[in-house]
Amino acid sequence: MSAPVEFAVWAPLPERVRVQVDGTVHQMRRDGDGWWRAEVEASPEADYGFLLDDNQTPRPDPRSRRQPEGVHGLSRRFDPSAHEWGDGAWTGRPLAGGVVYELHVGTFTPEGTFDAAIGRLGHLVRLGVDFVELLPVNAFNGTHNWGYDGVLWYAVQETYGGPAAYQRFVDACHQQGLGVIQDVVYNHLGPSGNYLPEFFPIFAEGANTWGNSINLSGPDSDEVRRYVIDNALMWLRDMHVDGLRLDAVHALVDERATHVLEEMAQEVDKLSVAAGRPLTLIAESDLNDPRMVTPRVAGGLGLTAQWSDDFHHALHSVLTGESQGYYADFAAGGLGGLAKTLTGAYFHDGAWSSFRRRHHGRPVDTATLPGWKFLGYLQDHDQIGNRAVGDRISATLSPGLLAVGATVVLTSPFTPMLFMGEEWGASTPWQFFTSHPEPELGKATAEGRIGEFAEHGWDADVVPDPQDPETFTRSKLDWSELSKEPHERLLAVHRSLLALRRAHPDLVDPDLSAVQVTWDDADRWLVVHRGSLRVVVNLADEPREIELDRRAADVLFATAELPDLDGATVTLPAESAAVLSTR
């Protein structure tokens, strides 16, 4: 049923704006701030778009909630309040003490939809994780994509099911006790379907790795910042999301006294109070600057947490022996480098970075910042997908070392994160895939990807074509692996470790200053002190005898055969780990 509706759009650049609603064009009036408005009779699901100046092709709404025909088509009205939420008992949960599970909707299930993903939530509950983190779902050009080529930040990708299916997914997660974190991208826009520059000055001078920089502090940037922050609030308020992962915040160039991240954190905190549940902001930051997650009252930006790539790099290089590119410093650091990240979060804490050819980072004050403010992981979408062939670490390591890596992550003082399929050592790769309909853009993307890896010594013939549909299909999880070895055993390891975290407070103690680590690079063993518990790790291909600082009383967990305990001496089987009680 039609009713009067105000259509509004911020468009200070065109001289004239009209709105087309269900095929009928209406004039709009402009106010002094560059907003255009018109009251029009429209149905709840009316299709509409904006005609700018003399262009007769309607453009989608920059704040469109739904794009049923893709990012080049008309927008469709969507009322987020129409969903009848069933999560009334959900009061949220803080990030501290939790475990995050990162997944990509399009490759998590064969169907690649929100509704299909709902059918797999029981697996996550049985696994023992607390949060589902979704790779970006904002509308992008084409049918499948990692999600970082989004061009309409307010719309949910239609091939996943659109906004209504997204709400059903969040609702189902909450009803099963899982929080939802949404990955969002505010540092660039995708290469196709971005009509925002026709409406307003979305871009500033300069560019980053992925595209033009967003205008956060230049002329007319007040409304651009509002566009960013309102989008963050939309996910948390209208979609009941519990947190946001902010992509590559080091690429947000903001010269104002109050950084856009600090402003966002302030507004999210206000919304958290109004909503009566904790709301989380997690940064992906390459800066190694602890001020990112330092509370505002202490002079920081006030974000909740950040990813810790240094911990990943240190653990990856120790397990695999890889030393190319940015792994060089971590490989040179050996087990001592891993120990440094376990006790201080950053490896580059003002130290020399050979990859950057400069000193990088600053130390974390472990007396004031808890470890849970840093997400620790053995794998994530970037560290798999940005390898030339998208090979998971399970393609390189033995089942024993995979279990060792899981033990280090899940007993660490950080907030652990798993990437989908990691828990069973999925054999499927996770490759870089795109579906640009424009042949020239698809060709340029493929050639650029292949050329990038060729420069680093990879054989161009082995780099998959991102535009080949098989690259996307290969990246889908094979759920039949769960009941097969060695996958079933590794899944049991992850479930046992997650249960152990819940049962023993020492394993979720975030006090970095209380973590002690001993190691031997030559014999390849490591011991992490977690309160009265000792996490003992043997990376060698033969048993190792390890002397502890005190008598080991009991074995709480082991990845393989039980270690031999003789007072303070532990004999650990090859490529294994154990968690020991000392009282």
| Active site residue ranges | 247, 284
Is 311 within any annotated ligand binding site?
yes
* Residue 384 marked ligand-binding: yes
Strand partners, 296: none
- CA nearest to 188, candidates 212, 161, 164: 212
Question: Does the annotation flag 137 for ligand binding?
Answer: no
- Tell me, letter by letter, the H, E, C secondary structure of 263-323: HHHHHHHHHHHHHCCCCEEEECCCCCCHHHCCCHHHCCCCCCEEECHHHHHHHHHHHHCCC
Query: Is residue 383 marked as binding?
Result: yes
Give the largest CA-CA distance in the chain: 85
φ, ψ for residue 222, nearest 5 deg: -55, -50
Consult the annotation and say whether 385 binds a ligand. Answer: yes
Task: Please state, as a whole number, how many other Cβ atoms lie within 10 Å of the Cβ of residue 483.
Answer: 10
The response to whether 282 counts as a known ligand-binding position is no
Is the Cβ–Cβ distance between 141 and 151 less than 8 Å? yes
**Residue 381, annotated ligand binder?**
yes
Tally of CA atoms within 13 A in the half-sphere of 195 that contains its CB: 26
313 annotated as a binding-site residue: yes
The answer to whether 312 is annotated as binding is yes
- Using alpha carbons only, what angle is made at residue 339 by residues 333 and 345, rounded to the nearest 5 degrees? 100
Is 249 annotated as a binding-site member?
yes
Rg over alpha carbons for the chain, rounded to the nearest Å, is 25
Residue pair 145/112 in contact (Cβ under 8 Å)? The answer is no
Q: Do residues 378 and 403 lie in contact, with contact meaning Cβ atoms separated by under 8 Å? A: no
3-state secondary structure of 196: helix
- Please tell me whether 250 is known to bind a ligand: yes
- Beta strand residue intervals within 92-193, DSSP E: 100-103, 131-134, 138-140, 150-156, 179-184
Torsion sign over Cα 192, 450, 420, 275:
negative
Mode of pairing for the β-strands spanning 29-30 and 100-103: unpaired
347 is in an annotated binding site: no
The answer on whether 118 is annotated among ligand-binding residues is: no
Buried b (16+ CB within 10 A) or exposed e, 123-140: ebeebbbbbbbbbbbbbb
Q: 453 among the known binding-site residues?
A: no
One-letter identity of residue 212: N
Tokens of 148: 């970082």
Cβ burial of 299 (10 Å; 0-12, 13-18, 19+) is exposed
How far apart (Å, rounded) are the C-alpha atoms in residues 57 and 20? 10
Residue numbers in the known binding site are: 245-250, 309-313, 381-386
What residue numbers does the annotated binding site for substrate cover?
A: 245-250, 309-313, 381-386
